[in-house]
Structures are given as structure tokens and as C-alpha cells.
Structure 1
Amino acid sequence: MTNLFKKSAVYILFGLMTGGFTLTPAASQTVKVAQSTTMEVIGGAKPPMGWLQFCKAFASDCAVKPAKPVRVKLSAAKLAELDRVNRAVNAEIAPVTDMELYGVEELWTYPTEGKGDCEDYVLLKRRALIEAGWPRQALLITVVRDLKGDGHAVLTVVTDRGDYALDNQAEDVKPWADTGYTFVKRQSQADANQWVLLGDGIGPVGVATAP
């Protein structure tokens, strides 16, 4: 991990915990918890190539033992925390493709120099929430088709009020079914290194899959 990323992550986490970031009025208002739905898991799936590559580069982040699935008890305060993390990371990172940044089609990593693509946003949000005390089993990297039909990644959070999505293409944290996306596959709750196929998954979406 580069010193630049360490400084960036510490800065983001400090800002989130101390309220140091300037949020838009919508983010500073009381966030109401609504009943959502839980995604349907219909079977196993191959992990994206980007995840396997990420695990080689950041082995300690992937060296976790299988654990019992967890649903976070979602209060207005918890949902507001998700909202703050989503907005803070979205504001700090500029969207840039892997080809523009690294000269390759796909590379999952933590954002550097304040730039990254959708998977990089997800990885940083996931890490920030884990370090803030959220259970890993409830924070799942998820592959979707976005509103244009393109491959995209979001972070889904499993709660007792349903599954919510943190997205670099949206400021608001939404119930997954309200995003308009087609949800294809995500990490297993029990084992972050295993992936599962979701109920409306319809095949590869431009996020490379392991052979």
C-alpha cells in the first residue's frame, strides 16, 4: 500500500468520523429508514478477475476466514453513516477509467492520486466502513448492469431492513431495487472470496470473470 493511499484513507476516515467533510443539505438532514427487500441468491458464481488480482496485491484484505452471515440492524443513524461515507468518497475521488490511469482494461485497487473507477470507489467505501466497525459479512462488492446496460460495481449493505446500495453514480444510498440496475452477482456473505449469482443476473457484464 502506498503512503499516498494511507494518507488518503486516513484523511477520509478522519473526516467521516469527525464530521469534517462538508455535506450537501440533503445529506445533513435526518435520514429515514424505509423497508427494503433482500436480494435473491440463486447459486454460486465465478469471482471477477479483478477480485483475484486485487487479492494478490492486497493479500491481507482477502485472508479472512468464512464467518456467519450478518444483517446490520439499520437505524436512522446507521443509514446516515452510510450516506456520509458514500458522499465523502464520491466527493474525494474523481472517476477515471483503468485504461486512462494504468493503461490496462481492468485493475481493482484502492484509489490513488484521488482517482479511480467504480470498483476502486467500492473498495475504499468497504474498507472505510470495516474500519468504522461495520461487519465485513454485510459489506458486499456487487456486479451490476447500470442504466446504460454497462458493467458496473456497487457496494451493497445487508441489513435487517433489506439490502442497500452505495454507488459512485448516485449521492443517495438507496434500496437496491430502487437503483434501476440489473444485479448480477456479489460476494458471499459467509466468505468474501466466494461469489454468488443473484436472482436477476443475466450473464457477463464487462467485468472480467475468472476462467
Structure 2
Amino acid sequence: MSKFSIEAFVNETKENSQEKDYFELEKPELLEINLNNQAVWTKAGSMVGYVGNVNFERQGMLSGGLGNLLKKAISGEGTKLMKAEGTGRLYVADNGKKVRILYLENESISVNGNDVLAHDQSIKSDIKMLKSIAGVMAGGLFQVKLTGTGHIAITTHGHPLTLLVTPDAPVFTDPNATVAWSGNLTPELKTNVSLKSLIGRGSGEEFQMKFSGNGWVLIQPYEEVYIVTK
């Protein structure tokens, strides 16, 4: 059999039937969710395929209470979720980004709204806004705080780097390259005026997120620009 035959191609790229974890990486950029008469929240538009009996329901504007209505209305596709429920294998992905699976044990994590791919129904999600107009200009305004016990999946462009935050060594990041951080941290938005005057208003580097205390911050080797939709 030729190594370029269709049979060889199928054998090389077919799913791994030996692994049946609830959340598992079928490929570095492809998450497989094995549903057994249960529900999971996934990023709207992330479904690329499924096998079995799975139903989909888009998150309503009022889900989670009236307090989230305005935030969901203006935060764009990056923070809209879709409920998948049933029995079968669900495959989700996001523009070829790397997928990382985490298991929270009564813990919380904050994630850039555009980088949440999926999470257990048992995980509570709440959209947070940085209270600064600089966040709008830098594209890093909306985050999702995930809290509870269960699986979550986040995405990054390329291989991420974790920076440790200590009281004597705060961490500064570009909002467009910041993916996630430990739930106990609350970032501040800073404006570097001298840098702004040097490189002009069109660049995002004049805005920085400052993390202080004890924790960690996950960054990616890519500055992602987020488009807010009406």
C-alpha cells in the first residue's frame, strides 16, 4: 500500500477510539467531548462535527439573569456560548488554535472571553468587564470568570507561556496577548503615555494589564484583535 493512498490517509488521521475521557484532545487543535446523556457549554460556532444524538441550543440573551444582558449584547461572538446535550462524541475547535484542558476543583480561573472553548454545565460562568475605557481601545475588555468543579477547555494561538506573579514582582502584559489568569487576581489597566506618543494611537502596546499579588498569568505569542459586534 502506498503511503499516499486514501487508506493510509484515513489510518493516519482517523480518531483514536481507545481514549474515551469526558474531555480529551483528539488533536492539539481539536477537542473531543464524550457526552453520556449530559450537557456541556461550548463556544458558539465551534462545533466541527459529532457522532450520535446531540442537540444544540444557543444561549439566550437573558440566561444568567438580567445583570448579564447588556454585557452579552455588546461583547460579541467571543463570549456567546452554545449548549450541547445528548449522547455521542462532539468535536469542537476554534480557527486552528491550540486547545488546553483544565480540571477545576472548587477553583476559579479568569479567561479572555474569546479563548473559552468549552466547560462543564456544573461550572459557573460570569462575564466580567474591566472598568476602564482603555479596555475598549486595547480590545481586552471582556473576560469570563469560570468557577466550580469540572472540566474546561481554553484556546491559545501557538504555545502559551505562564508567568508567575508575586508580591515583589508584578507582571505586565499586552491585553491582546493575555489568555487567562488565576481567579484570585484582579488586573488593572495601565496607559503608558510616553509609549503612546512614540508609536501613535494605532498600536496596542501603550495599554498594559498589571497583575499584582500571588498567582499566575497565561500569555500567547500572538496579539489577537477582537471585534465587537452589535
TM-score, structure 1 normalization: 0.23
Q: Hey, which of these two has a bigger chunk of helix by percent?
A: 1
Q: Hey, which of these two has a bigger chunk of strand by percent?
A: 2
TM-score, structure 2 normalization: 0.22
- Which is higher, the Rg of structure 1 or of structure 2? 2
User: Structure with the greater relative contact order (CA < 8 A, sep ≥ 6): 1 or 2?
Assistant: 1
